[in-house]
Amino acid sequence: QVLSFLVVFVAGIIIGLATSGHINTYFSSQAQLFSTSTVTSFQVSSNKANCNQTQAPCPEIDYLSMDAFIHPMNLTHKLSDDELFWRASMMPYKKEYPFPRVPKVAFMFLTRGPLPFMPLWERFFKDHEIFFSIYLHTPPDYYLNVSTSSPFYGRQIPSQRVEWGSFLLADAERRLLANALLDFSNERFILLSESCIPVYNFPTVYKYLIGSTYSFVESYDDPTRYGRGRYNRKMLPHIKLYQWRKGSQWFEMQRSVATYIVSDTKYYNLFKKYCKPACYPDEHYIPTYLNMFHGSLNANRTITWVDWSMGGPHPAKYEGVNVTEGFIQSIRNNGTLCSYNDELTSVCYLFARKFAPSALEPLLNLSSTVMNF
């Protein structure tokens, strides 16, 4: 009997302890759940109260917003060049767009600071906002002071130092392309300087570029010391002499070609290592790369007129006294023919350089009568 009593007693203690543990766990979990619910409820109520205090509805944050992905409104970011080029190299395989897409022309200005022809460009862009984007690569410490109504407002990209004749210039060109590629509506990409001007109105330029099957990158074989003479045999076997090309820095290209350019690492690094003065990467890298891999997409000509007749490392610069109706007309139609979508045309140049700031006033006087904007 004593033994039976002890067994029953011990069993009772064990059952009691187990039951007590379950009860404590249950009430602890319920207390924690209640506490969490209370805090969450308090935070939501508090947020709603704050929204009500400002008399504004609470914004609904969508971190996967399609608009933010396809149309970045704020050009400021902290991406390194490697991160930026990787992000810009993404090309969708799906041809259709899941949003209404109006193809835009990205006007990319590579400048040393001020834009003396901004009033002319503002007149050129007026009333065509949905068809273009602007990107400015300036010295890192330069601030472009323009009104909020200007199409140039807030269009400076995160820039770095640029030095003429060095690979930093090619870096800046790719940086402009990469930032412009982040906007999926940009279909054509034109590189311009602060001394460039348009010689046709916006509708003409837009139709010409959007309707083109080809990119406009000058790429030719120059057998002189200014062409083949700049080739470095250390680029072998990846780049051979017969593949070496030269061309104008001022290019225009379609989206697929721009994506190829920012995606390239191998040949970009070869040029960075072996193309140094008197080899100028901005005149050789893109023309050579396109000639090697994507020549069928290129018209092998530039659409930016420039006068090299004076000789030397820089083209002629035109002052205000040089700007006349006849001069602008001679750029628009200089009597030569060029290929456009495999057919001949007399409209070969849409832009021109190099113009001094003194040319602004006469250009503004001619913009409505000659260039029709």
Instruction: Please tell me the number of Cα atoms within 13 Å of 27 on its side-chain side.
Output: 5
The C-alpha atoms of residue 254 and residue 249 are separated, in whole angstroms, by 16
Q: Average model confidence (pLDDT) for the chain?
A: 87
Residue 198 lies in a domain: yes
Which pLDDT does position 52 carry in this prediction? 46
Q: Is the pLDDT of residue 251 over 90?
A: yes
Number of structural domains in the chain: 1
Which pLDDT does position 50 carry in this prediction? 45
Digit-coded pLDDT (tens) for 127-140 = 999 999 999 999 99
Which pLDDT does position 12 carry in this prediction? 66
Residue 20 lies in a domain: no
Residue 178 lies in a domain: yes
Comparing CA positions, the residue from 239, 289, 245, 247 lying closest to residue 264 is 289
Residue 55 lies in a domain: no
Chain-centre distance of CA 280, in angstroms? Answer: 23
Q: Is the pLDDT of residue 47 over 60?
A: no
Which pLDDT does position 73 carry in this prediction? 76
Q: Is the pLDDT of residue 240 over 70?
A: yes
Q: Is the pLDDT of residue 56 over 90?
A: no
Residue 88 lies in a domain: yes
Chain-centre distance of CA 320, in angstroms? Answer: 32
Digit-coded pLDDT (tens) for 270-279 = 999 999 988 9
Q: How many CB atoms lie within 10 A of CB 163?
A: 10
Which pLDDT does position 167 carry in this prediction? 87
Residue 48 lies in a domain: no
Residue 51 lies in a domain: no
Residue 338 pairs with which residues in a beta bridge? 345
Beta strand spans in 64-193 (E): 104-110, 132-137, 186-193
Residue 45 lies in a domain: no
Which pLDDT does position 26 carry in this prediction? 44
Q: Which domain holds residue 268?
A: 66-92+100-366
